[in-house]
Each structure stands twice: as C-alpha cells, then as structure tokens.
Structure 1
Amino acid sequence: MTLAQPLAIPPSAETFFANHAQLRPMPEVAARLIKSFDDPNVSLRALADLIEKDPTLSARVLRLANSARFNPSHNVSTLMDAANALGLTMLRNLSMAAAISGRFPEVQGLDRRHVWRHAAITATYARILGKLVRLEADEVFVAGMMLRTGQLLMALSAPEQVAEVERLAGEPGSRYSLEQHRFGCTHAHVTASLAAHWHFPNEMVRAFTDASEPLERRPFSRMAAVLHLAEVLADAAVKGLDPVEALQQAVPELVAHMHLDLDDLRDRLLAAGDPGQDVDALLH
C-alpha cells in the first residue's frame, strides 16, 4: 500500500499570509456553497435562495446570466430566473467564481482583468479535463478558478518580483519553475494555504499543494494533474498558441501519464469557445 505523503506546503508559502488580512473574508454564502458539493440532494431552489441572501453576489450572478456567453433567450431579472436559465451546475460554478474573484483587491504588478480572464479559462479547461478523467467537474471548475489566487497574495508582498515572473513566463506552464526558483514556492502552494484557511475540501487543498509537480507526489492526485494541465492550456490560449501543442511541448510525461485523447480534448476546447469573454461581468 502506498502511504500518502503529508501536505508539502513550503514554509515560504506561509510567509505570504502576512498580508492575508487585506483579503475580504469569504462570505458565509460562499462557504455554504462549498459545502453543497457534498450534498447530492441539493436543489436548484435551495441554491438560488442561498445565493439571494448575498445581494452583491446575486447581482454578479445576474450580470453573468445575462452576458453574451450564456445568451438566454430573454433577459433574466430574478435569481430564480437565472437559476432556471443556467441550471444547477452552472449556477453554482458561476456563483463560486463571482465569490472568489470578489475577495481580492487590485494589486500592483498584475493586471486584475488579465488574471481573472486567465482564471476563468483555467476553470473551464479544468472542468473539461475533469470530465475526461472522471473527476467531479464542479469541484475541478472551482479549483481552476482558485488556482492563481495564491499569486495575488504573493503580489501583495512582492509586487515587483511577481511582475517580473509574469514578464519572464513566456512559455506555457513556465510560471511554476520561475516562482519556485525565485520564492522557494509557487502560487499553487500559496493557494493551498489560502484554501485550507477558507476550509475548502481536503482533496482540493492537496490538489493545490501537488499541482506544481503532480508527477512527483504520492499518491498521485488526478485533480492536481488536471490543474497543472489546465493552467498550461490557459497560458497557451491567452498567448494565442495552440493549446494542445503547448501541452505536448510543456508536459509530455504528464499527458502520457493521464492517457489523454488529444483529438477529443482539442474538439472539446474548440466547443468551449472563449471562456474568458465575460470577465467584466465577473468583476463588476
């Protein structure tokens, strides 16, 4: 039997929590949304009623429901209308995306719109990959949305160094090694600390912890692998590169280990369109 390694969050990742007080606390509604992942009997009405308790979150969800990407046949004006238009899975996913993005202030050295557009793409691609490897797609979507939040925490403490890493990260997936060399940890490690602080599921915290080098950790976490792959895909997408070719060049061993059907993956990515097109509705 393979014994699980303890969570390998480097001590250097914890140092970035000196500025965690600048984050807005995770609202109670979002915390209850996280718990709903473990409830197979949760209803659309229950989720809508829960989200409606937070006026700011409700307003963001309504803007997303009326955005071009989802393009309902008519404008929705109530949260229950949005729930019916989106369905349970998308309602919860968009609500969590809005809740997470709303926790972070503008930080020096990073373009907020660019970061959250990248996060939305990562989340969608993680969901696609999750379905291919039979993971819980909703949880993987939220994890993808969360993945770079650690970088925002890092930028609160070291804005110039984080900005330099972004300038140097020309190759898809290179952010991890650049951060490890400069800081002794990666944004995924800092995100793991944040996720633990916000009481996210243990599986998700471990996935963040292992996402920098998923092949090096035991037991192997498919969610960590999906997060790493999704970030490479998102890096390629925002740079206008072929995402599948980027995967093959950046992480061929991980692609082989996951036994991905790359033709199927390419078709699914194309069908997803531009998942980052509604970032303005997410942020305002």
Structure 2
Amino acid sequence: MTQQPDMDALAARVQQLYRLPPMPAIALRVMQMTAAPETTAAQLAGVIERDPSLAAQVLRYARSALFNYRGELHSVQEAVTRVLGFDRVTHLAVGIAASRSFELPRSGPLGLEAFWHHSLHCARLSLAIARRLPRGAARDRLDPELAYLSGLLHNLGLLLIGHLFPEDYRQLREAREAEPEVALSELEARIFGVSDQDEQAPLRVGHASAGGLLLHLWEMPEPVVTVAGMHEIAGYQGRHEPYVHCVQLANELLKERGIGDEQTRADPVAAARALGLNQPDLEQLLGTIDEVSAEIEDLARGLAA
C-alpha cells in the first residue's frame, strides 16, 4: 500500500509558510448547500445566479453539444433539472469558482486555457470510465459524479504553484514547451530543486502535493484530495484507490490524443486492468474523447477568458 502523508501535519506547516488563497465564498456556499439534503435545485440555482459570470458559464456548459439538449435553457435551475443534475452543477460551479483564486497566463503551455482543456476532458472521461466499470469492488466503491469532480480538480495544484511561485512557474512553462517528452514531475523537481522530504518547501515539490494540500485545507471530499495528491503515483494502492486509478486511466487515454500537461507515453492497459476494463473498453473510451473534443476546446477557451 502506498504510504500517504499526514495531511493535517503538512497543512499546518504550509499555513505557517505561505499565504494560501481561501476557498472562494461562493464555492464554499455551494459545497455547504450540497451537504444539506433538504437543498432544492431552485435554492442551488439561486446561489449560483448571484454571480452572473458563474451562472453564464454553467449555462454555456449545459447548452453545449456535449449533452444534446434540444430545448431552450433560460436559467441555472433549468440547467439543473433538465440537463446536468444537482451534483454536476455543484461540481462544475465549485471548479470554476476555485480556479478564480489564481492569477495565471491564459495561453501557452500550462496556461489557464490548457488547464481547462485538460481538466474538462479528464472530468468527462473519468465519469465515462466510472460508469463503464463492471460490477464488483471498484464499481461499488466509486461514485461516478465524484469521479467527475476528481478529474476536474486533480491538477488544481498547477494553478496554486503558478500563483505562489510565478518565476518558477514561468521556467516550468518554458521547460514544458521545450521538452514535451520529459515527465512534468521531472521538470518540477529540476526547477524547484527540492525533494518531497524538504521540511521548508512542502509546496515546491510539484503540483500534485500542492493540489492535495490545498484541497485538504479547503475541506473537499476525501477522494478528490487523494486523487489530486496521488494521481502521479503509478500503481497506487491505498485509500480511494478506484478514484485514483480512474483519473490515471483518463489521463493515459488523453495522452493518446495529445491532451494533457505532458506527452510522455505510458501503457493505459495496466490502469484499465486495475479497474476491470479491457481493450474494447479502451477503444470505446477513446471514441468518447473524439466525440466531445471540439466542444470541450471551445468551452475551455470560454472558461479561460
């Protein structure tokens, strides 16, 4: 089993060293409403619609060809009840709001547009993988909508290290453009120059550690925190293992289409096997990417604007 860090101890140390952005108020409110079983779609929509930009982005997503909804949508409540559902709207709104905490370049390698292009694809594909799992232990322990949120936020640490260390992040972006064949974790280690045992730099080890810590501090669901922190560990075994494998498989399949923050190749069969999936399943999932890619590219441009 993969050894996981003591997140509370790390979080306490991080808060002493850095001024981290708080979870945006609207994201916090949406998460609180989700936790209350009596919350209605109208109440959720009312909170989101207090932020016109967020409401417009949720509606744009619901109106996209991803869902083939042929009717008119005039409100977030209609997006909830007719197209997306309560959980998806909640997760999308939280993801969009969370990304606003960071100031980053829009274009280029590891820019906001690339972040959203990858994250939306990963979320969509993680959902498809979760729904495709055969009956058994992995499927029984995995909520497809939470797999969607895990895919959507798994790279949030990229935004955090760009926000906290802009000069290092500039160098990382330049290195990614110059050496796309090198693993992102290797570039991060080279540029940040520290190891994961460095007591004075717990966020400078790379985006996975940074993202896991931030989402832990924001009190996001445990599977989402674990995926953010552990998604780069091959053969991960531990808490919330199916979610990690789900997002890892999504990322490996996305690399087959040149989508993601690095273009190094790994065989997706091992990740698929851990979830009980086979080659025909992988072919179907690759087809899913092709079906939605153009629409997601357009949505990513809008979210990064």
| Range of TM-score over shorter length | 0.7 to 0.9
Q: Tell me, in whole angstroms, the C-alpha distance in 1 between the residues paired with 2:79 and 2:4.
A: 43
1:161 aligns with 2:182: no
- Give the distance between the partners of 2:226 and 2:283, measured in 1 at CA: 28
Matched, 1:116 2:113: no
Q: State how 1:1-284 maps to structure 2 within 5 Å.
A: 5-7=4-6, 14=14, 18=18, 20-21=20-21, 25-35=22-32, 43-88=40-85, 89-107=87-105, 110-131=110-131, 132=133, 133-134=138-139, 135-156=142-163, 157=165, 158-167=168-177, 168-170=179-181, 174-180=183-189, 182-183=191-192, 184=195, 185-219=205-239, 221-239=241-259, 249-250=266-267, 252-271=269-288, 273-275=291-293, 276-277=296-297, 278-284=299-305
Which amino acid letter does the alignment assign opposite residue 51 of structure 1?
I
Determine which structure has greater relative contact order: mean sequence separation of CA pairs < 8 Å that are 6+ residues apart, divided by chain length: 1
Unaligned runs of 5+ in 1: none
How far 1:39 sits from its partner (Å)? 5.6
Task: Give TM-score, length-normalised by structure 1.
Answer: 0.77
RMSD, aligned α-carbons: 3.6
- Count how many residue pairs are aligned between Structure 1 and Structure 2: 272
Cα-to-partner distance string for 1:40-99 (whole Å, 9 max, x where unaligned):
665433432332333332122122233343453243222222223323143234323322
SS at match of 1:116: helix
Amino acid at match of 1:176: S
Q: Distance in 1 between the 2:81 and 2:157 partners?
A: 33
CA distance in 1, matches of 2:273, 2:190: 26
- State the TM-score, normalizing by the size of structure 2: 0.72
Counterparts of 2:2 and 2:283, CA distance in 1: 35
Offset, 1:212: 1.7
Q: Distance in 2 between matches of 1:195 and 1:220?
A: 15
Local SS of the residue matching 2:122: helix
Distance in 1 between residues matched to 2:2 and 2:155, nearest whole Å:
29
Deviates more, 1:271-280 or 1:40-49: 40-49
Q: Which runs of 5+ in 2 are unaligned?
A: 196-204
Deviations 1:100-155 (A, max 9, x none): 33333223863321221111111111222233242111122112111222112223
Distance 2:122 2:66 in 1: 16
In structure 2, the CA distance between the partners of 1:177 and 1:38, relative to structure 1 (3 Å rule), is: farther
Alpha-carbon separation, structure 2, partners of 1:130 and 1:165: 34
Q: Is the 8 A contact 1:150 1:190 kept in 2?
A: yes
TM-fit CA distance, 1:35: 4.5
Q: Percent identity?
A: 22
Q: Is the 8 A contact 1:101 1:282 kept in 2?
A: no
CA change 1:197–1:119 in 2 (3 A) is: same
CA 1:281 to 1:160, structure 2 compared with 1: closer, same or farther past 3 Å? closer
In 2, the alpha carbon distance for the partners of 1:123 and 1:265 equals: 16
Separation in structure 1 between the aligned mates of residue 286 and residue 33 of structure 2, nearest angstrom: 28
SS in 1 for 2:257: helix
Q: 1:205 to 1:271 in 2, by over 3 A?
A: closer
Cα deviation for residue 190 of structure 1 reads 1.1
Which residue identity does 2:121 align to in structure 1? I
